[in-house]
Amino acid sequence: MTSTPLIISCPVVGAELTREVYPALPLTADEIADAASDAVRAGASIIHLHVRDEEGRPTQRVDVFETVTQKIRKRCDCILQYSTGGAVGTPLEERCAPVRLKPDMATLSMGTMNFGPDIYENMEKTILTIGNAITENGVMPELEIFDFGMMEATERFLEKGHIPEKFHVDFVLGIPGGMSGEIRNLVSLVDRLKPGQSWSVAGVGRYQLPLSVHAMTMGGHVRVGIEDNIYYRKGEPASSNAQLVERVVRIAKELDRPVATVAQAREMLDLS
Ligand code: KMH
Ligand code: ZN
């Protein structure tokens, strides 16, 4: 088994969750920054960042991203990865806007899908526009792949030179409308990657823990946090993002995967 340092990414708030569903959801700039720095202290090196406006609604406003970024930077060193997915239905221009702040990384979703009862729209023009915004700002993309069709679409985009050649891949499995988080799905996706490609898995809901464990044994990296899963175990809400990160750190230790420091993660992802 690999002893490659494990990069832990933490999506601290997401766009879809509300306080009605998860009362401890961080919403204000200070709450999001606190949640991020607690997760980093627990072992995360990447913070996957969505932000909320003054009413707690998801927003892609540049000024809010800037404020939250400053607050996180004051509290800790970490790799900041902005969401360009926003919330379901966020207009394309708004989705791209925060990338002009030149975060370390930004997401690039690789296809349209049903997203629960909604449609998460990522048609070709959307992907190319967001991809260009990411490239123009010198940001490292993380390709978000929600099903096998997106994996094959990614290969076609790459062949045509439509998306940046250097990226990290994140498999997001378990969204109703995308591929489920069965282990065989992860195995078939990873099988399709070019040798040496860095990848992680974000298991949604009950898939988070088993997928994390499998990714760790397969040499991949993991994303755990409240955006993807609000439960520590069945029927027991997680107390915080940090609690979910701490569990992964403990398991990694047992599996002899050292947890990557922020500096190591930067080097492994070629972000220096
Ligand atoms: N909120 C989802 C519709 C991303 O951050 O890049 C999209 C999402 C993906 O969360
Ligand atoms: Zn997200």
pLDDT at 131 over 80: yes
Q: 104-125 pLDDT, tens per residue? A: 999 999 999 999 999 999 999 9
Helix (H) or strand (E) holding 252, with range, is helix 241-254
User: Residue 59 pLDDT > 90, yes or no?
Assistant: yes
Give the separation between CA 101 and CA 87, rounded to whole angstroms: 19
**All structural domains of the chain with their residue ranges:** 8-268
Please tell me the residue having the least CA distance from ligand 1 atom 4. 85
Confidence tier at 272 by pLDDT (50, 70, 90): confident
User: Does the pLDDT value for residue 243 go beyond 80?
Assistant: yes
Q: Whose CA is nearest to atom 9 of ligand 1?
A: 85
d(CA 55, CA 135): 32
CATH of 8-268, one of 3.20.20.10, 2.30.30.60, 1.10.10.10, 3.20.20.70: 3.20.20.70
pLDDT in tens, 84-105: 999 999 999 999 999 999 999 9
Instruction: Using most ligand atoms within 8 A of CB, pick from 90, 107, 168 the residue to mutate for ligand 1.
Output: 107
Residues, beta carbon < 5 Å, ion ligand 2: 83
pLDDT value of position 162? 87
Give residue 223 CA to ligand 2 midpoint distance, Å: 11
pLDDT digits (tens, 9 = 90+) for 160-169: 998 888 999 9
Q: Where are the alpha helices (DSSP H) in 60-193?
A: 62-75, 92-96, 124-136, 148-159, 183-191
Buried b / exposed e across 152-185, counting CB within 10 Å, b at 16+?
ebbeebeeeeebbeebbbbbbbbbeebbebeeeb
**Ligand 1 pocket: which residues have CB below 6 Å?**
15-16, 83-85, 87-88, 107, 109, 115, 120, 144
Residue 236 neighbours by CB distance under 10 Å: 8
Give the separation between CA 12 and CA 174, rounded to whole angstroms: 18
